[in-house]
């Protein structure tokens, strides 16, 4: 099968114009099929403040009320996404900016209200992602760039976690491609010692993960990312890579600098 890289970039890179430009140059240079999923950064919060719409978070997750969904749709699907597309075109990378509503690419459901009502927040319906439509772009040299927005098939846009979108797309396309899911963040990889950037664990299998957990060697904040990675692998994704955005090109080769997670 052909190789496909599904790459997620977080808001910390989007908030820094120089870091974003450097990252997009690296992304454009990857000589394989690829998909980019970007987070929102702090721009929606800034514009919301300018418009008098305060941001509201519970446990680090944005509450998306009627006013907020309008702002994140404008910012994520418009301003941030189209600036990324324009930069990629300037780097010779023929990209197309998308939300989950475009071509029905990422169907989702509004998150049910339990302890917290998150408002217009979506949970992806991975099984209904149209693989053939995604392949139309990829097999014709057009590189999809997804904003962190989905839709509920009832006419509503839903604010959706970019990590989840990346994982769902990787899982859906793993039937058609040899997929490596790449999560870019601000550290070199999963660290054995969170204070030491040189303590990157190069390879984590399920056995290795259990060993690291039993020895209490992992920073608590990284555990959801690793759990998410193994969930993707169990659903068909071949490999997941967690690493530094600055090491992107190297992390799409066999000689990775970050942490490779496999079965």
Q: Enumerate the known binding-site residues for substrate.
A: 40-41, 62, 159
3-state secondary structure the chain: CCEEEEEEECHHHHCCHHHHHHHHHHHHHCCCEEEEEECCCCHHHHHHHHCCCCCCEECCEECECHHHHHHHHHHHHHHHHHHHHHHHHHCCCCEEEECCCHHHCCEEEECCCCCCCCECEEEECHHHCCHHHHHHHHCCCCEEEECCEEECCCCCEEECCHHHHHHHHHHHHCCCCEEEEEEEECCCCCECCCCCCCCECCEECHHHHHHHHHCCCCCHHHHHHHHHHHHHHHCCCCEEEEEEHHHCCHHHCCCCCCEEECC
Question: What is the C-alpha separation between 151 and 122, in angstroms, rounded?
Answer: 7
Quickly count: other Cβ atoms within 10 Å of residue 178's Cβ. Answer: 16
Residue ranges of the annotated binding site are: 40-41, 62, 159
How many CB atoms are located within 10 Å of the residue 28 CB?
A: 18
List Cα–Cα distances, 224 to 4, 161, 228, 230, in angstroms: 24, 13, 6, 10
Cα(first)–Cα(last) distance of the chain, in Å?
A: 18
């Amino acid at each position: 099968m052909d190789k496909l890289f599904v790459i997620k970039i977080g808001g910390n890179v989007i908030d820094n114009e120089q870091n974003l430009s450097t990252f997009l140059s690296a992304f454009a240079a990857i000589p394989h099929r690829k998909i980019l999923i970007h987070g929102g950064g702090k721009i929606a919060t800034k514009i919301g403040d300018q418009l008098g719409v305060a941001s509201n978070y519970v446990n680090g997750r944005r509450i998306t009320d009627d006013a907020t969904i309008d702002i994140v749709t404008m910012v994520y699907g418009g301003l941030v996404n189209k600036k990324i597309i324009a930069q990629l075109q300037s780097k010779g990378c023929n990209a197309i900016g998308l939300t989950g509503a475009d071509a029905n690419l990422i169907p989702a459901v509004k998150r049910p209200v339990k302890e917290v009502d998150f408002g217009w927040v979506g949970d992806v319906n991975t099984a209904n992602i149209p693989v053939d439509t995604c392949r139309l772009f990829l097999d014709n040299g057009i590189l999809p760039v997804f904003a962190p927005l989905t839709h509920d098939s009832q006419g509503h846009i839903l604010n959706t976690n970019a990590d989840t979108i990346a994982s769902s797309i990787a899982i859906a396309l793993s039937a058609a491609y040899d997929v490596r899911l790449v999560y870019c963040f601000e550290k070199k990889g999963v660290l054995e010692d969170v204070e030491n950037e040189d303590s990157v664990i190069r390879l984590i299998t399920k056995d290795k993960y259990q060993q690291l957990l039993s020895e209490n060697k992992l920073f608590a904040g990284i555990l959801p990312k690793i759990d998410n990675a193994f969930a993707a692998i169990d659903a068909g994704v071949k490999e997941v890579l967690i690493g530094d955005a600055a090491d992107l090109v190297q992390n799409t080769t066999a000689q990775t600098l970050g942490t490779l997670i496999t079965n």
